[in-house]
Amino acid sequence: MTSLRARLRLPLIAAPMFLVSGIDLVSAACANGVIGSFPTVNCRTAGELEAWLGEIATRLARAGDASGEAAAPVCPNLIVHRSNARLQDDLAVLLRHRPELVITSVGSPAPVIAPLHDAGTLVFADVASIRHAERAAEAGADGLVLLTAGAGGQTGWLNPFAFVRAVRAFFAGPVVLAGGISDGVALRAAAVLGCDLAYMGTKFIATRESMADGRYKAMLVDSSADDVLLTSAFTGLPTSMLRPSIVAAGLDPDALPARGAIEIGTDIDVGARENRPKRWRDIWSAGHATSGVSDIPSVADLVARTADEYDRAGAMRGAFV
């Protein structure tokens, strides 16, 4: 981790977001000193994943030549649940490219830890409960991403203060806080709490480089945390969704059916053929950090603002401690 930190402008990961994190967003994040992550399933095939990693590497090499500084790490995100039929193919691509860091999601990291370690890759596992954190640590995960109340997408329910401190009681490795990081002040607070890094997701959705629909970005600017609804209706798991997007899809956010009961498309092409609203494509996710979204900046501008906030919060803390 020491060598990674030396290349970071901020202890921050641009969170891996389905249908949002792409080549432009990841490359811009890494070039500006923030770890850039993306779900490998954002690529339609393992071959496309290979192409993405090659293109990102080319852009970062070009940026490094221009600036004279090494870029922050690129961090693919592997969905390790058995429902991901592409897991082994995507893993094979990553083993060829040997990324410095991989984040695993939706299941135990155990099956992929040994091969990734053999490739020299650190494995961070995202977890939503203390028991899951214990199991991931026992399996040999190098770091833990704590999904807390207020994170976008499929989220956790634990209070971040309680979750971090409980995990720190048994885990000395890198801890990443996911949920509610809307500015540099919150990022500084995460560091004080005992976190090595934090996710920022929602604010990166509303950047020029993200793959999100322009209407999605505008909705984030117009919304607040009060517009984020926690529901299991669309995915079967507690998920943070934007109320206005649910309304726009012709559904009543206050009268949604039970867990996973909504008949809704899951594949982009199928959804288009069936002409039905589709989760992630038409019904959009956001975290509680929505209240911090006020415009649609470039990634460079967002990182610069966050760095200024982080530095000023550190100076203020020093004045009182």
Cβ atoms of residues 128 and 158 within 8 Å: yes
pLDDT at 271 over 60: no
- What confidence score (pLDDT) does residue 263 get? 57
pLDDT digit string (tens) for 178-218?
999 999 999 999 999 999 999 999 999 999 999 999 999 99
Q: Do 45 and 83 reside in the same domain of the chain?
A: yes
pLDDT at 244 over 50: yes
Task: Outline where 158-205 has alpha helix (H).
Answer: 160-168, 184-193, 202-205
pLDDT band at 172 (very low <50, low <70, confident <90, very high): very high
Q: Do 95 and 45 reside in the same domain of the chain?
A: yes
Of 13, 28, 169, nearest in space to 105 by CA: 13
pLDDT at 273 over 50: no
Polymer length of the chain: 321
pLDDT at 5 over 90: no
Q: Do 93 and 148 reside in the same domain of the chain?
A: yes
What is the domain range of residue 253?
A: 224-285
pLDDT band at 76 (very low <50, low <70, confident <90, very high): very high
44 within domain boundaries: yes
Considering only 130-139, 163-172, 193-202, 228-237, which range has the smallest mean pLDDT?
228-237
C-alpha 224/C-alpha 64 separation (Å) is 37
pLDDT band at 318 (very low <50, low <70, confident <90, very high): low
C-alpha 257/C-alpha 91 separation (Å) is 36
Q: Which residues contact 285 (CB under 8 A, 6 or more apart)?
A: 17, 152, 153, 239, 240, 241, 242
Q: Do 88 and 178 reside in the same domain of the chain?
A: yes
pLDDT digit string (tens) for 39-66?
999 999 999 999 999 999 999 999 888 8
292 within domain boundaries: no
Q: How far are the Cα atoms of 103, 166, 200, 217, 245 from residue 11, in angstroms, in the given order?
A: 16, 21, 10, 25, 32
Longest dimension (CA), the chain: 60
Q: Do 170 and 108 reside in the same domain of the chain?
A: yes
Cβ atoms of residues 152 and 201 within 8 Å: yes
Residues facing 14 on adjacent strands: 36, 200
Q: Do 140 and 16 reside in the same domain of the chain?
A: yes
Burial class of 58 by CB neighbour count within 10 A (0 to 12, 13 to 18, 19+): exposed
202 within domain boundaries: yes
Q: Do 277 and 173 reside in the same domain of the chain?
A: no
Task: Please tell me the total count of domains within the chain.
Answer: 2
Q: Do 128 and 16 reside in the same domain of the chain?
A: yes
22 within domain boundaries: yes
Q: Do 144 and 259 reside in the same domain of the chain?
A: no
Q: What single letter denotes the amino acid at residue 169?
A: A
Q: Do 254 and 160 reside in the same domain of the chain?
A: no
Structure tokens at 286: 């956001």
Q: Within 10 A of 45 (CB to CB), how many other CB atoms are there? A: 12
- What confidence score (pLDDT) does residue 276 get? 67
Q: Do 77 and 36 reside in the same domain of the chain?
A: yes
